Amino acid sequence: MQTLTQRLKEAGIAFHVNVPLCQYTTFHIGGAASCMAFPKTAEQIRLAAEAAASADLPCRILGNGSNILAPDEGVDGLVICMKHMQKCAFYDGFFVAEAGKNLSLFLREAARAGYGGAEELCGIPATVGGAVCMNAGAFGKEISAFVREVQVLDPQSMTFRRLAPEALSFAYRHSSLQESGEILCSASIALSPTDTDDALRRMQDFTRRRQAAQPRQPSAGSFFRREPDCIPARLMDLCGLKGMRVGDAAISEKHAGFIVNLAAATAADVRALAQAAERAVQDRFGVRMCPEVKIW
């Protein structure tokens, strides 16, 4: 760890040690990260990843923390937090947004500049980077429809690459970045000319609809993946699982697809509850549900 922190200091990268992950995840769950770095540029991301590799320590990427269940015991190694990667610029018909840019904020800024078409995605609690990696979507639209190019860091060669959408193998809530380990630094997003007031009204409407349908307690969104033959919320509802609890983790009374933190839920509570829900659905319908949330 001393080698890691020394390299981060030499690179001028802000960092903290023993950082409670519960403060950086929407579940409000998780022990301490041994070290968390806060790069401000793509080059600092590369230097931070190099520092972890030189110390032979694992490296994880954290955006908005809205799709993560962090372990109670915390994580060793380096967590690279993208919260300061917020720049966004407009070039030749494309918006280039850094990975840490809040997705909803990006869409509103684009609308004020007269561009839209992705209003359905407003309200998704993600960064641009996390949204692209997960191919986030809502109300029938996915962010993959608007991605024209991404800049990634290859953690093996520590070099930057630019990838076209075809190289990302986009599918439902999936991109190849989830397997490759490449770190997304920025994304080029193509939107269409639009009326600003109309786009902002549509975004407000979609956000209200999301809020009306979803629980307010801390969660990581829909816990299980939706598949062609598996709509988890519907199957869990039919199994009568709403309100089921383990410790302070509960299946939401409002939306069965959400596992929520009622007060002081642990990651162990959430995992146990998720496993119980999986068994109930498997026993009744013969369908295996798979988590959409990334379990660290």
Q: Does residue 30 contact residue 70 with C-beta atoms inside 8 Å?
A: yes
- Residue 201 annotated among the catalytic residues of the structure: no
| Contact between 155 and 141 (Cβ < 8 Å) | no
- Show the low-confidence residues of the chain (pLDDT under 70): none
C-alpha distances out from residue 171 to 3, 126, 164, 295, Å: 39, 18, 15, 20
- pLDDT for 92 equals 77
**3-state DSSP helix/strand/coil percent for the chain, to nearest 5?**
35, 30, 35
Catalytic residue among 182, 222, 252, 278: 222
Centre a 10 Å sphere on the Cβ of residue 197 and count the other Cβ atoms it contains.
10
Note the pLDDT of residue 169.
97
Phi, psi values for residue 123, rounded to 5°: 105, -15
Q: Which two tokens stand for residue 28?
A: 């409000």
Run of H or E residues at 63: none
Would you state the pLDDT for residue 222?
Answer: 95
Catalytic residue among 119, 120, 278, 292: 292
* Terminal CA-CA length for the chain: 20
Q: Say which residues have a Cβ less than 8 Å from residue 183's Cβ, sequence separation at least 6.
A: 45, 49, 61, 80, 152, 153, 155
Strands 59-62 and 75-81: parallel
Report pLDDT for 228.
79
Q: How many helices (H) and strands (E) does the chain have?
A: 8, 19
pLDDT in tens, 228-265: 788 999 999 999 999 999 999 999 999 999 999 999 99
Q: Which pLDDT belongs to residue 264?
A: 98
The predicted model scores a pTM of 0.94
Catalytic residue among 60, 108, 173, 271: 173
Q: What amino acid is encoded at 251 in this protein?
A: I
Q: Is 175 a catalytic residue?
A: no
Tell me, what's the pLDDT at 93?
A: 77
Residues in a beta bridge with 219: 260
292 is catalytic: yes
Domains and CATH numbers, the chain: 2-81 (3.30.43.10), 88-212 (3.30.465.10), 216-295 (3.90.78.10)
Listed in sequence order, the residues at least 6 apart from 105 whose beta carbon sits closer than 8 Å to its beta carbon are none
